[in-house]
């Protein structure tokens, strides 16, 4: 499980991820939509928002943080949910979560 670090109230850097299948092959996201979900370790939903497909054929996606996403210090679990053109749904990573650490800022 990878860890993504942010400071409280920051909206940069953007989160970039290459969505891959179990064999490490990039997922083709042509005609798909992607959402970013993040929750507290207690299971409370913090974020449910659209993500951007940067390069569809190579599975590259980006999430642009909103101020409300990072306003609370803590450890979170995150994932990208893909809805394909045929309305089937697949979540990445499918065997764990992206760990997001939001630490307090000094000022």
Q: What is the pLDDT of residues 56-98, one digit of tens each?
A: 999 999 999 999 999 999 999 999 999 999 999 999 998 899 9
Range of the domain at 54: 3-103
Look up residue 19 and give its two tokens: 């969505």
Q: What does the pLDDT read at residue 107?
A: 80
CATH of the domain at 19: 2.60.40.3350
What is the per-residue pLDDT for 90?
96
The model's pTM is 0.94
Give the three-class secondary structure for 105. Answer: coil
- Higher local confidence (pLDDT), 97 or 2: 97
Domain count, the chain: 1
Distance CA(11)–CA(68), nearest Å, equals: 9
Cα separation, 34 vs 84, in Å, equals 9
Q: Which residue has the tokens 């609370």?
A: 72
Helices (H), 5-94: none
List pLDDT tens digits, range 4-48. 999 999 999 999 999 998 889 999 999 999 999 999 999 999 999
Quick one: which H or E segment has residue 63?
strand 60-63
**What pLDDT is stored for residue 1 in this prediction?**
56
Rg (CA), the chain: 14
């Amino acid at each position: 499980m990878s860890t993504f670090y942010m400071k409280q109230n920051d909206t940069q850097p953007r989160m970039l991820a290459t969505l891959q299948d179990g064999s490490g092959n990039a997922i083709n996201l042509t005609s798909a939509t992607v959402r970013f979900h993040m929750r507290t370790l207690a299971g409370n939903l913090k974020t449910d928002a659209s993500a951007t497909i940067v390069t569809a054929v190579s599975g590259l996606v980006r999430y642009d943080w909103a101020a409300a996403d990072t306003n609370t210090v803590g450890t979170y679990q995150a994932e990208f949910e893909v809805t394909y053109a045929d309305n089937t749904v697949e979540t990445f990573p499918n065997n764990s979560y992206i760990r997001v650490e939001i630490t307090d800022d000094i000022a």
